[in-house]
Amino acid sequence: MPVDTIRVAFIGCGVMAQRHAASYEKIGGAPIVGFCDVAEDRAQALAEKYAAQSFGDVGEMLDAVGPDGVYIVVPPFAHGEAEFACIERKIPFFVEKPINLDLSQAEDIAHKVQQADLLTAVGYHNRYRTGVNKARQILQDDPAVLALGGWIGESPLPNPEVPITVWWIDKSKSGGQFLEQATHTVDLVRFLIGEATEVAAVAAQGFNVGIPDYNIEDAWAVSIKFASGAVANLHACCASNAREGVTLDVYAKNCAFQFTGWDHHCKIFRTGREQSEEIIAESEEQIFYQEDAAFVDMLRTGDQSKVQSDYADALNTFAITVAADRSAATSEKIPL
Ligand SMILES: NC(=O)c1ccc[n+]([C@@H]2O[C@H](COP(=O)([O-])OP(=O)(O)OC[C@H]3O[C@@H](n4cnc5c(N)ncnc54)[C@H](O)[C@@H]3O)[C@@H](O)[C@H]2O)c1
């Protein structure tokens, strides 16, 4: 086996695990050796597809296959066991967003990751986009003043055949739409603007009725103040059946950026230029490939800077969404 072969394993074998595993059909020298899921049939199905072993127990898999890197792709409520098992064995991991539901557990994981000097990556794939990186570069010299954006979707329809549609509408499992989904936008504004200092939020409830077991908020409006002095108004809504969309607009004194759609197609506007510049967004397959290839590159080289989001950084994004939750519950502005 060549020394640069990287063997990866998956904990959680749902929709996102399948998307990440698909990248490995193109990444050379990085076989997938194990799949683990509490629903063992899902682990078995993927193990068969990728000629790997399947497991129902995290520790058993890690000890049996000894991977060089692990994907933790479980729903928000199921974090903890997988991360601690990897830390204990000093195995670097990639974790999908949001990193947790419990801030104190996430802080404990971050602390232990740092103590173990462990390489990590987090699934904020928009940080790999060409348009986002161009905007970030321009904003270094002309800093953002205001950001507006978020996720608007239709009323959820739970389908027992599709697990995410069931756990997503349960606040105790997903954390709600702002924490689970608009976290992408929260992370992007941090990537473009810097660290936040305070959060104030309000949430709407009572519009989505008659959906069995639905107990998340219908909409969010979240104001964020940044250390740079900039401000953002971010939103989420899952009760909009006439119009949906993902948007982020960022305004600076002499430039502005408009990101639209899941793929964050980017338009750049500059004072003194009549035409806006358009940057075609990467496809879904391409952006996950870039993110996964960066993870493998990090594992090969031991260089944490190869990935755009690590656990310690993602903890700050998570803290903003937790603060939004607390602000909506207490009607108080939450300092960070
Ligand atoms: N980056 C993105 O664009 C993106 C998109 C969708 C979802 N996600 C995130 O990815 C994560 C997974 O989402 P999904 O759509 O794959 O969900 P899913 O429900 O399709 O799959 C999750 C899998 O994890 C398994 N699981 C649950 N607890 C487990 C445990 N303790 N140990 C092992 N397996 C366990 C479930 O049985 C299920 O098979 C979520 O955090 C979600 O927010 C990210």
By alpha-carbon position, which residue is closest to atom 5 of ligand 1? 16
**Best of 46, 93, 96 for a ligand 1 pocket test (most atoms within 8 Å of beta carbon):** 96
pTM: 0.97
The DSSP secondary-structure symbol of 125 reads G
How far is 238 from 30, CA to CA, in rounded Å? 38
- Residue 224 CA to ligand 1 center (angstroms) comes to 28
Q: Which atom of ligand 1 is nearest to the CA of 43?
A: 39
Q: Could you report the per-residue pLDDT of 87-133, keeping only the tens digit for each?
A: 999 999 999 999 999 999 999 999 999 999 999 999 999 999 999 99
Residue range 8-125+287-309, CATH number: 3.40.50.720
Residue 3 has pLDDT above 90, yes or no: no
Q: How confident is the model at residue 246 (pLDDT cuts 50, 70, 90)?
A: very high
- Residue 91 CA to ligand 1 center (angstroms) comes to 20
**Best of 62, 126, 164 for a ligand 1 pocket test (most atoms within 8 Å of beta carbon):** 164
Looking at 3.30.200.20, 3.40.50.300, 3.30.360.10, 2.170.130.10, the CATH number of the domain 126-281+317-335 comes to 3.30.360.10
Q: Could you report the per-residue pLDDT of 250-300, keeping only the tens digit for each?
A: 999 999 999 999 999 999 999 999 899 999 899 999 999 999 999 999 999
- Residue 73 CA to ligand 1 center (angstroms) comes to 5
Q: Could you report the per-residue pLDDT of 185-244, keeping only the tens digit for each?
A: 999 999 999 999 999 999 999 999 999 999 999 999 999 999 999 999 999 999 999 999
At residue 2, the pLDDT reads 44
By alpha-carbon position, which residue is closest to atom 21 of ligand 1? 14
The pair of structure tokens assigned to 213 is 């077991």
DSSP H helices, the chain, are: 15-23, 40-49, 58-65, 81-88, 103-116, 130-141, 163-167, 171-174, 177-180, 183-193, 284-301, 311-330
Q: How confident is the model at residue 1 (pLDDT cuts 50, 70, 90)?
A: very low
Domain assignments of the chain as residue spans, ordered by start: 8-125+287-309, 126-281+317-335
Say yes or no: do domains 8-125+287-309 and 126-281+317-335 share a fold: no
